[in-house]
Amino acid sequence: DAGVIQSPRHEVTEMGQEVTLRCKPISGHNSLFWYRQTMMRGLELLIYFNNNVPIDDSGMPEDRFSAKMPNASFSTLKIQPSEPRDSAVYFCANTLAGGDYNEQFFGPGTRLTVL
């Protein structure tokens, strides 16, 4: 397994543009998490899915952010419209069905810069 795959690895966009971040989870996962990491706020949980169903989106900062998981192999995090304060590294992470409790496998992250 190639591990958690995120794309793009880097994204530079202008304020007001739509941004879509993508995550391909590990095969056999059961939970998927989206995190945001900044110097000021550290690592923040935005939303997570269990078996493709959104469970807790209380960490999503505002309505400009949305996340979907249309199937077990793919998830997206969308920001529309983007703002400079959204600049951060966004991580996708998974737990494995039948794996050790709570152990999460992280992707390499997408570094987003909004100008």
Partner 1 sequence: AQSVTQPDIHITVSEGASLELRCNYSYGATPYLFWYVQSPGQGLQLLLKYFSGDTLVQGIKGFEAEFKRSQSSFNLRKPSVHWSDAAEYFCAVGALGNKLVFGAGTILRVKS
Cβ closest to partner 1, residue 31 vs residue 52: 31
What are the structure tokens assigned to 26, written together?
């590990």
Which of 19, 67, 88, 93 contacts partner 1 by CB under 8 A? 93
Asked if 90 is part of the footprint of partner 1 (rule: CB under 8 A), the reply reads no
Which of 7, 17, 27, 50 contacts partner 1 by CB under 8 A? 50
Asked if 98 is part of the footprint of partner 1 (rule: CB under 8 A), the reply reads no
Surface-to-core class of residue 20, CB atoms within 10 Å of its CB (0-12 exposed, 13-18 middle, 19+ buried)? middle
Cβ closest to partner 1, residue 74 vs residue 105: 105
Distance separating alpha carbons of residues 112 and 8, to the nearest angstrom: 9
Residues 35 and 43 sit within 8 Å (Cβ to Cβ): yes
Asked if 106 is part of the footprint of partner 1 (rule: CB under 8 A), the reply reads yes
Asked if 75 is part of the footprint of partner 1 (rule: CB under 8 A), the reply reads no
Residues 95 and 31 sit within 8 Å (Cβ to Cβ): yes
Which of 5, 22, 24, 30 contacts partner 1 by CB under 8 A? 30
Spatial neighbors of 111 by CB under 8 A, at least 6 apart, are 9, 10, 11, 88, 89
The residues that touch partner 1, with contacts defined as CB under 8 A, are 4, 30-31, 33, 42-43, 45, 48, 50, 55-56, 91, 93, 95, 100-109
